[in-house]
């Protein structure tokens, strides 16, 4: 009986530690949000951006993180497809995030592509140009990408714009040996609020 009680208490302690870790992570997030400034004029602009022809793969998620694992998996499978088709992955690569009303998110990952689509699941898609786009650049690992998006959305709102469509991440530089040196352009279609 005591051994059973010990096991129950150990499970409860483990669950409490996990809850405490989540609370501490949320507190750190709230503290960093309140300490963050909005993007400066040098880090933010409303502009037009060009379209992209991509060889892409997509997945739909229930809206729960980790998006990084989904995007990484899609790019890995896509790189294999490109190599099997006799090509070589080249950049800049692009990921898009399409938020549906039901809470799901369609995540698409793509490599620049000019040829016909190879056999398999990958398809060639044309991302259209965006006439009015809020754009900023995130420098650093993907661990900070959520904060970068929050800053962009706050600045969009402060400037009197509204989000208006599928957002994109364009990976301008992604040295695999140094994730802190990554350069990612955030692109969010907008319209006047």
pLDDT digits (tens, 9 = 90+) for 78-132: 988 888 888 777 779 999 999 888 888 999 999 998 888 787 889 999 999 999 9
> Which residues make Cβ contacts (< 8 Å) with residue 45, sequence separation at least 6?
134, 135, 136
Judge contact between 154 and 120, C-beta under 8 A: no
Tell me the pTM.
0.77
- C-alpha–C-alpha distance, residues 55 and 108, integer Å: 10
The tokens for 175 are: 């040295």
Residue 83 tokens, joined? 């190599």
125 neighbors 114 (Cβ within 8 angstroms): no
pLDDT in tens, 32-49: 555 455 566 678 999 999
175-192 mean pLDDT: 93
């Amino acid at each position: 009986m005591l051994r059973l009680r010990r096991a129950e208490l150990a499970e409860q302690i483990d669950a409490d530690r996990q809850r405490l870790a989540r609370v501490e992570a949320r507190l750190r997030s709230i503290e960093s949000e309140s300490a963050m400034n909005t993007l400066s004029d040098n880090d933010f602009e409303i502009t037009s951006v060009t379209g992209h022809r991509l060889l892409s793969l997509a997945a739909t998620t229930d809206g729960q993180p980790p998006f990084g694992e989904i995007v990484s998996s899609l790019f890995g499978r896509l790189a294999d497809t490109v190599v099997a088709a006799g090509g070589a992955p080249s950049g800049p690569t692009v990921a898009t995030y399409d938020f549906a009303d039901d809470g799901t998110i369609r995540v698409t990952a793509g490599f620049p592509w000019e040829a016909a689509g190879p056999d398999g699941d990958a398809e060639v898609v044309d991302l259209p140009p965006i006439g009015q786009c809020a754009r900023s650049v995130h420098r650093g690992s993907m661990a900070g990408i959520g904060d970068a998006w929050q800053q962009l959305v706050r600045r969009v709102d402060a400037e009197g714009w509204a989000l208006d469509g599928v957002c994109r991440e364009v990976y301008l530089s992604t040295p695999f040996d140094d994730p802190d040196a990554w350069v990612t352009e955030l692109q969010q279609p907008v319209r006047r609020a």
